[in-house]
Amino acid sequence: MRIFKFGGASIKDAAGIRNVFSVLQQTGYEDVLLVVSAMGKTTNALEIVIKDYFDKSAALKSSVQEVKKYHNQILLDLFDDDKNAVFTDVNKLFADLDYFLSQNKSPNYNFVYDQVVSFGELISTTILSHFMNFSGIKTNWIDVRNFIKTDNNYRDANVNWELTQKNISKNVKKKVLNITQGFLGSDENNFTTTLGREGSDYTAAIFAYCLNAESVTIWKDVPGVMNADPRYFENASLLNHISYREAIELAFYGATVIHPKTLQPLQRKEIPLFVKSFLNPTLPGTSVSKGTDLEPELPCFIVKKNQLLISLSSIDFSFIMEENISEIFALLHQYKMKVHLIQNSAISFSVCVDDKFGNFTALKTILSKKFKVSYNENVSLYTIRHFDEKASKMVEDGKSVLLKQVSRETMQIVTKET
């Protein structure tokens, strides 16, 4: 079985849905499992719904209506007859969303988040499945929450591999086109969980691992894995072949083409990964596979915007020792700070983090009891794999460098625009 993953950009409108059909016609679709994200910016739109819900805002009704309007327009563009069963199925999902928002009693933001944003994937796969059937490709729509079981760490759930392996290996149909949702799972009480933002790639890897898949293909709006994000760097080049190790390094440092968790399950079973363009599906794209000779021969640039640089120093000029660092990391973990860079000296400790849950104010209060806390908000973290002097200069020009760290293969630079 082959696993295909299509992200939100590939199905953002009716033309995108039709293009997925075209891709399947060109690549073959028997014994394929599609893992599909929410359409376009639907997750962002549902995050606005959640914000309005917790703010008890009068705008809640209109923010929900925006999501409904967006999907309804796609339906009208795809299907001539509004009596098609897809309208009933999508309306039922929206009714379920309305019911949850009116009846939920939980004050837990992360729990509510997972229950609400999941409708993006449920709706997108419902529409895609109906369109494939309508266009002559028979599909088997499956609810991923019945297959991927997790703990209840909402918004960043951990997979129960034993249960998930059992569910997938026994119940996924072979020799048909299966369609399921990325990003989602469920806990032991069958409440919806999510695997972390952009987790659909990880979903594809989970299914591949459990099914001993032939390959995984991630379909993107770029030709493959580039040595830099074309949005921030001119003349980005395609990496034709890279090793699992290099791909994991790039993903770890924040390359957005491949989700960081995706590579590990594939590497364990040596399942090849392809990153290809859904705009030009016959192009070879990038292959990720086993091999020590698959290292890029040019610098690779990764940039993470809107980061937070925290610098701690001891109030009494005492050394920051192992016990202090251990305590700091425990707090970073407790307040869900994603750490991307660490640097310390005898009396100071600096860390560049992603405060995706907005917990820094609370963390700063705790840290200030023991340390002098300095910080810079909205900084950029540049990582250069296989760096050289020219690459370093290109990143530093026109910016204020707050911190630089260099190892054998990797340079990291925290900058502020000047």
> Could you tell me which of 44, 100, 38 has the C-alpha nearest to residue 74?
38
pTM of the model: 0.85
Alpha-carbon distance 229 to 384, whole Å? 12
- Taking the CA atoms of residue 245, residue 247, residue 252 and residue 254 in that order, the dihedral angle to the nearest 10 degrees is 160
> 98 falls in which pLDDT band (50, 70, 90)?
very high
Give the pLDDT confidence of 162-189 residue by residue, as tens digits. Answer: 999 999 999 999 999 999 999 999 999 9
pLDDT of residue 78: 97
Alpha-carbon distance 71 to 1, whole Å? 30
Give the pLDDT confidence of 371-390 residue by residue, as tens digits. Answer: 999 999 999 999 999 999 99
Give the pLDDT confidence of 295-345 residue by residue, as tens digits. Answer: 677 899 999 999 999 999 988 878 888 888 899 999 999 999 999 999 988
Give 247-258 as a DSSP string: HHHHHHTT-SSS
Residue 408 Cα to chain centre, angstroms: 29
Alpha-carbon distance 305 to 93, whole Å? 35
Give the pLDDT confidence of 61-95 residue by residue, as tens digits. Answer: 999 999 999 999 999 999 988 889 999 999 999 99
**What mean pLDDT comes out for the span 144-150?**
98
The DSSP element (H or E) to which 335 belongs, if any, is none
What is the Rg, in whole angstroms, of the alpha carbon atoms belonging to the chain?
A: 23
3-state secondary structure of 2: strand
* Contacts with 316 (C-beta within 8 Å, 6 or more apart), sequence order: none
pLDDT at 41 over 90: yes
Amino acid at 297: E
Question: What whole-number percentage of the chain has pLDDT above 70?
Answer: 98
pLDDT of residue 82: 86
Whether 268 has a binding-site annotation, put simply, is no
Tokens 């200069």 — which residue?
393
pLDDT of residue 293: 62
**What mean pLDDT comes out for the span 37-65?**
97
CA 225-228-232 angle, to 5 degrees, is 130
> 232 falls in which pLDDT band (50, 70, 90)?
confident
pLDDT of residue 292: 62
**What mean pLDDT comes out for the span 222-232?**
88
Structure tokens at 54: 């917790």
Phi, psi torsion values for 295, nearest 5 degrees: -90, 140
Instruction: For the chain, report the end-to-end CA distance as a whole number of angstroms.
Output: 51
Domains of the chain: 2-213 (3.40.1160.10), 300-417 (3.30.2130.10)
Alpha-carbon distance 323 to 372, whole Å? 17
Residues 300 and 228: beta-carbon distance below 8 Å: yes
* Contacts with 296 (C-beta within 8 Å, 6 or more apart), sequence order: 227, 239, 242, 246, 385, 386
Pairing of strands 2-6, 215-220: parallel
Residues 26 and 219: beta-carbon distance below 8 Å: no
pLDDT of residue 28: 95
Alpha-carbon distance 49 to 373, whole Å? 35
Amino acid at 164: T
> Could you tell me which of 228, 213, 328 has the C-alpha nearest to residue 270?
213
Q: What is the DSSP letter of 169?
A: H
**What mean pLDDT comes out for the span 264-293?**
91
CB-facing half-sphere around the CA of 413: CA atoms within 13 A: 21
Task: Compute how many other C-beta atoms are within 10 angstroms of the C-beta atom of residue 220.
Answer: 24
How far is it between the farthest Cα atoms of the chain? 74
The lowest-confidence range among 116-125, 188-197, 259-268 is 259-268
**What mean pLDDT comes out for the span 27-52?**
97
Residue 139 Cα to chain centre, angstroms: 25
pLDDT of residue 295: 65
Question: What whole-number percentage of the chain has pLDDT above 90?
Answer: 81
> Could you tell me which of 185, 209, 345 has the C-alpha nearest to residue 266?
209
Give the pLDDT confidence of 239-273 residue by residue, as tens digits. Answer: 999 999 888 888 888 877 787 789 999 999 999 99
Pairing of strands 32-36, 177-181: parallel
pLDDT of residue 72: 97
Give 263-316 as a DSSP string: HHHHHHTT--EEEEESSSTTS--EEEES-SS---SS-EEEEEEEEEEEEEEETT
